[in-house]
Structure 1
Amino acid sequence: MTTWQTNGIVWSIASARGVVYVGGSFDSVRPPGAQRGEGEVPRKNFAAFDAATGRLLPCAPSFTAGPDNSVRALKTSPDGKVLYVGGSFGRVDGTGVANAAAIDTAGCSLRKDFRPPVQATVRAVDVTDDAVYLGGDFQAVGGRTREHLASFSRTGALLPFKADIDQPVLAVLAAPDHGRILVGGDFHRVNGAAEAALVALDPGTGSTVASFPGWIPRSGVGVKTLTRDGADFYLGAEGRGTGLFDGRIAGRLSDGKLLWKDSCQGATQALAVYQGVLYSATHAHNCSQTPGGFPDGRRQHFLANSVRDGRILHWFPDTDDGIGESNGPRALAMAGGILWAGGEFTTVNNRPQQGLTRFSAGPGTAVPEGTPVMRAATNRAGRVELTWRATWDRDDAELTYLIERDGRRVASPKKRSTWWDRPEMTYTDSVAPGSRHRYTIAVSDGTTTSPRSQPLDVTVAGG
């Protein structure tokens, strides 16, 4: 879908009340299809868009004056009235803040009551009806010790909630309906006990209520993202070394039971769940041990898993690695059935598109990836054997191959294929011995059809 672009990295996306909010490290946005420098509109690390049409909105507070000068985390309140913002910034427009702030969504105005003095970068935010949880690099809030995680009232007062966490928190998932706050990050110890990158804490006190032994290796792996649907939760990991766990895990919120775990290699940066599908921003390059997966080779920057069993589904839009750390996409959010994605990328599906894109939940409109080249064998009287290699489609596994002889349809064989498995196909046509014919082929995914191939002229063997 056509989408505005940024001139830098998008780190986080959130939505509420028909608006999509985008935060990152960028100075401007530009229209769909525009090249860098064309039609640039100033936006300092924050932009807002109409969730349905993608139109750029005037809501444009500037987040500046931080060591890293970026917006790293966005989360709206359950009622959608307030957008909570975390990152590395010291000012919102002309007002001094300290790495966290809140925006009233109705008027796009900075709230006066939520300005906690957070000592260092905020990388994760989640919100309940009663509290705002911030996670990140910080070790103090307003001179009071808070080791990488803190809780505030909705009006900015620091709450007694306290947990001792030895390394940065990168993801927070509030589940007060199950009496816990899930926390993920780069840590190894929480509240004096060994915890490998994932822990569940009491939402009021910060004491540990559940551990997840064996889920994550004890070193070299961090939890980058957490999300939920109903009674289950999902995490995405990043391994810092060859062969370390990079994939996704599904667990049950009520008792912490592991439901499934994939084994893809290539770090997971963000997750979004919608109608039984877990979407991920990743750079997976080897999913050979995961059902529906692919062998080691090229990077695939988006994946979709079935929430039921973790099987990889046939949904393969892609980006390049892009700028920065060259990880491609880094943020996902579902808004009104449209999946928004942001990150470091500069192309989407091999076409220029920087920083931001979106995908419809309905049938894809892109044509299958290429038209086959046919070959013909005519060594039998009255027979033409056509051979070609199957192509593939980004969101349809089974394609229909439309074969025409002399401008009239003669066959429509179907075949399943993927970008890593494109089988050879054949069709044998019966015609008059010694006759001459012209063949073409096109490919349909049921919604769109590729251009027809160059004609193949054939003289049939005589009797």
Structure 2
Amino acid sequence: MAMAATRITRAPLRTLVAAAAVALAVTTTLQPTAHASVSATPTKTAGLSGEAVFDLAVLDSGRVILGGRFTGVGAFPRSNLGALLPSGKADPAFAPSTNGDVRAVAASEDGTRVFIGGTFTEVNGQPRQNLAALDAVTGALITDWQADTVGADPTVRSLDVHGDRLYVGGRFDGIDGTAKQKLAAVGVTSGNTLAWNTWTNGNVAEVRVSPDGQTVWVGGAFSKIRGMARAYFGGIDATTGYPNAFSRDSWGGVVITVGTSPDGGTVYVATENNHLFAYDWAASKELWRTRMSGNVQAIAASPTEIYIGGHFSSFADYKVKRPSLASVVASTGAPTSWDTKATGLLGGGWSLVIDGSTLHVGGQFTRFDGVQQRLYARFAGTPTP
């Protein structure tokens, strides 16, 4: 996850900052404060049939790999996996299939491989337990890459790639024949579990690597990382496995999704109590918090705006309607004027990816301001300067 878009021992100071932020929100509750950089009207592309796109990856070629719970892309039957050409038309050559949901999609840095995670036991008719590697062009299963997960009810919830490492987060008791639980690093080429001596004491919902590749940010239903107290979120050294010094309190509950600013200095976290947080992690400082009417499930950040997707209908404090998709000012968390008027199933937006001048969105929406665009949309503009 979703491609999944953030916590402190100085309680008195944090409380004052939070109170000031809420007071400011209340006094400015009525109007958005800035314009978003992308169009509110999606570019017409092939739509999907089925229920949801849970995650997506954009390749350097401009092709978009989609994973979720669906039965077709454009006119082509597809089982939970599909692709769009740079033109927005369905890719007729990419036709893999799974027998269960695809919850996470990531691509190797050279663009030759696509990694998928979810709740499946077969890929292209071959046994694979919740994790697999595919040829990025054809969708063929890479047969010499295998890192199955095991457990009472295992699932892979999030994937991210940096260099030769695929980071895997979810609910599992073992991976690739090892006893590694909930969080692991796997070789992009080999499929073997790599030495990374870290662990969490609860399930991982989101894994995001910092832009410089040095920190792996994780969120989920845990209270400790490598035995150190970290309330549902923390940063882990990509080499040593040790948590960094940043720690937040438990207010807000379980973390659903995580994002980072393009320069890596700010992390964004969405929690189960409908809040979106921004933190200057090096200073262990909360910058702002914004309350939505429902959960935020995806985050994508530009230097000036934070795009969010979820099953919300409005900004709770600002009293501004924004169904399923919205954006906020990066410096304040206040809503912008971007309003796609999305409609569809309650799940809303599940995945957001900024690629150059385009914002890619996957979810459960069916229309934007009455115009049909099912489960996937792209918005043109200038989300990066």
* Distance of aligned partners of 1:170 and 1:286 in 2 relative to their CA distance in 1, 3 Å threshold: same
Contact 1:118–1:142 (8 Å) recurs in 2: yes
Instruction: State the SS of the aligned residue for 1:124.
Output: strand
Aligned to 1:5: 47
Superposed displacement of residue 56, structure 1:
0.8
Aligned to 2:230: 195
Aligned to 1:168: 203
Structure-to-structure mapping, 1:5-404, within 5 angstroms? 5-6=47-48, 7-16=50-59, 17-30=61-74, 40-51=75-86, 53-65=87-99, 69-119=100-150, 120-154=154-188, 155-175=190-210, 177=212, 179-214=214-249, 216-217=250-251, 220-239=253-272, 244=273, 246-252=274-280, 254=282, 256-274=284-302, 276-287=304-315, 289=317, 293-294=318-319, 300-322=323-345, 326-361=346-381
* Distance of aligned partners of 1:44 and 1:107 in 2 relative to their CA distance in 1, 3 Å threshold: closer
Contact 1:28–1:43 (8 Å) recurs in 2: yes
Q: Distance in 2 between matches of 1:97 and 1:288?
A: 42
Superposed displacement of residue 299, structure 1:
5.6
TM-score if structure 2 supplies the norm length? 0.79
Contact 1:63–1:70 (8 Å) recurs in 2: no
Gaps of 5+ in 1: 31-39, 364-463
Bigger helix fraction: 2
* Distance of aligned partners of 1:97 and 1:10 in 2 relative to their CA distance in 1, 3 Å threshold: same
Which of 1 and 2 has higher RCO (CA within 8 Å, sep 6+)? Answer: 2
Superposed displacement of residue 314, structure 1:
0.8
* Distance of aligned partners of 1:362 and 1:141 in 2 relative to their CA distance in 1, 3 Å threshold: closer
Q: Which has the larger radius of gyration?
A: 1
Q: Distance in 2 between matches of 1:257 and 1:280?
A: 21
Aligned length: 335
Contact 1:91–1:97 (8 Å) recurs in 2: yes
Q: Distance in 1 between matches of 2:297 and 2:248?
A: 22
Instruction: State the SS of the aligned residue for 2:324.
Output: strand
* Distance of aligned partners of 1:112 and 1:227 in 2 relative to their CA distance in 1, 3 Å threshold: farther
Superposed displacement of residue 107, structure 1:
4.9
Q: Per-residue CA shift, 1:65-118, capped at 9, x if unaligned? A: 3xxx01111112233332221112222213322211222335544323432021
Contact 1:122–1:137 (8 Å) recurs in 2: yes
Aligned to 1:398: none
Q: Distance in 1 between matches of 2:114 and 2:260?
A: 18
| Partner AA of 1:303 in structure 2 | A
Q: Per-residue CA shift, 1:298-340, capped at 9, x if unaligned? A: 5622111122332321101132251xxx221211122342222
Contact 2:260–2:266 (8 Å) recurs in 1: yes
TM-score if structure 1 supplies the norm length? 0.66
| Partner AA of 1:158 in structure 2 | T
Superposed displacement of residue 28, structure 1:
1.4
Contact 1:20–1:335 (8 Å) recurs in 2: no
Instruction: State the SS of the aligned residue for 2:212.
Output: helix
Contact 2:56–2:67 (8 Å) recurs in 1: yes
Contact 1:63–1:89 (8 Å) recurs in 2: no
Gaps of 5+ in 2: 1-42
Percentage identity across paired residues of the two chains: 27
Contact 2:257–2:299 (8 Å) recurs in 1: no
Q: Distance in 2 between matches of 1:320 and 1:166?
A: 38
Q: Which has the higher mean CA deviation after the structures are superposed, 326-335 or 122-131?
A: 326-335
Aligned to 2:14: none
* Distance of aligned partners of 1:286 and 1:341 in 2 relative to their CA distance in 1, 3 Å threshold: closer
* Distance of aligned partners of 1:130 and 1:41 in 2 relative to their CA distance in 1, 3 Å threshold: closer
Aligned to 2:10: none
| Partner AA of 1:231 in structure 2 | G
